[in-house]
Chain A
Amino acid sequence: MGLDRLIGFDAQLLSEAFWTAINIFILFAGLSYLLFNPVREVLEKRRQKIAGELAEAADDKKNAAAMKAEYEAKLKDVSKEADAILEEARRKAKARETEIVEEAKAEAARIIERAGREVELEKKKALDDMKQEIISIASLMAGKVVAASIDTTIQNTLIDETLKEMGESTWQS
């Protein structure tokens, strides 16, 4: 006759418990080795990987922020430097402008002075030439008049008088 029962507190209960205990031990060892530990290991590795990547990303972000600040500071400095260079260039250009204007004024003054001197010399030369012309013409005319109307004595007297009237300063100027 086979076993046919619903519940009983006897040796059969312990037999059931014994076989169940073996099942549970085998399952515990088998599932721990095959399933739980490998899955947990995978999750732990992934967790560490993600944590590492997040830390790396945070570091990169921090470095990028530092670099950005540095570049912005540099850009600000560059702007200031450019302003300073432009200012210096303007100042130098202004100074050069003034210098050039001064030089031009001086040159102009020198040119004007030289031109004035040349004009004076030309004027003096022209006066001398005129005097020479006048003397020549006068001599010629006088010679002709004398030759035509007066004798040699009168002629000499006239020449002397003429020369006296013109004076020595006339010839020297």
Chain B
Amino acid sequence: MGMMKIPMVVHEPDFMIHGVLKYEAFGQELWITDTTVGAWIITAVLLLIGFIANRKIKAAADNGIPGAFQNALEMGMEALENMAQGILGGNARKFVNYIGTIFLFILFCNLSGLFGLRAPTADFGVTFLLGMFTFFIVNYQGLKNRGVGHFTSLFQPIPILFPINLIGEVANPISISLRLFANLLSGVIIMGLWYGMMPWFVKIGIPAALHVYCDLFSGCIQTYVFCMLTMVYINDKME
């Protein structure tokens, strides 16, 4: 009795980072990868949006009538400032630009999967750097506001807790970078497996729902979580 064969595998699932251009630095063979190119594209898009926004703001300043685009910008800026003030209080103003920058960068990176790019935030090289920025900002604020107390606080409340406190400090940037990376990577893997291994008829419609969760929902949530945690860590060192 013959069975009808359905082609189960169209092509191999692909969720890896690929090298695009090889170069050498410090005696090492390194690659410009598709995630680096994706990040450049996203940077260019964000700068273009910034440029257009700047033109619109200047035009509105001349005729005194803000348009819909400027209203949206102002609403977004106020939401960002409110979010920062909710955690950092009076210190929010100093960090709004940085938080806004990483917020937009991470958000656009997370959503880039919807436009066929491999999300740059699903590359640990990107999220590790973001985590390290948070680490450096947090410790800079700690040194600035507490001085030597920034180090002696590691021995509080009793000196024997120093190793745990030290791990706690070092774990922060690693945890937030791994959280972002792993969440996005899981989405990339799920989508890669689905597109690579499922029969053709389940690739119609169903991936849209997966994209909504893996790219849109998870992407927005993780962006918010990363920025919130960065601000919480900074705020801890402001007191």
Interface residues of A (CB under 8 A from B): 2-7, 11-17, 19-21, 23-24, 26-28, 30-32, 34-40, 42-43
Q: A3-B31, A39-B53, A40-B77 are in contact. Are A31 and B126 (CB under 8 A)?
A: no
Complex CA gap A37/B57 in Å reads: 11
B129 partner, pick from A4, A20, A28, A40, beta carbons under 8 A = A20
Question: B104 in the interface, Cβ–Cβ < 8 Å?
Answer: yes
Question: B32 in the interface, Cβ–Cβ < 8 Å?
Answer: yes
Q: Are A15's CB and B57's CB within 8 A?
A: no
Which residue of A16, A31, A34 has the most chain B CB atoms within 10 A of its CB atom? A16
Interface residues of B (CB under 8 A from A): 15-19, 22, 25-26, 28, 30-33, 35-36, 39-40, 42-43, 46-47, 49-51, 53-54, 57-58, 60-61, 66, 70, 73-74, 77-78, 81, 96-98, 100-102, 104-105, 120, 123-126, 128-130, 132-133, 181, 185
Q: Are A31's CB and B101's CB within 8 A?
A: yes
Q: A32-B101, A43-B77 are in contact. Are A12 and B18 (CB under 8 A)?
A: no
Complex CA gap A123/B40 in Å reads: 144
**B47 proximity list for chain A (CB < 8 A):** 26-27, 30-31, 34
**A20 proximity list for chain B (CB < 8 A):** 36, 39, 120, 125-126, 129-130
Q: Are B74's CB and A43's CB within 8 A?
A: yes
**A30 proximity list for chain B (CB < 8 A):** 46-47, 50
**A14 proximity list for chain B (CB < 8 A):** 125
**A17 proximity list for chain B (CB < 8 A):** 125-126, 128-129, 132
B81 → A minimal CB distance (Å) = 8
Q: A37-B97, A40-B77 are in contact. Are A12 and B53 (CB under 8 A)?
A: no
Q: A24-B105, A34-B51, A38-B54 are in contact. Are A16 and B97 (CB under 8 A)?
A: no
A33 → B minimal CB distance (Å) = 8
A37 → B minimal CB distance (Å) = 7
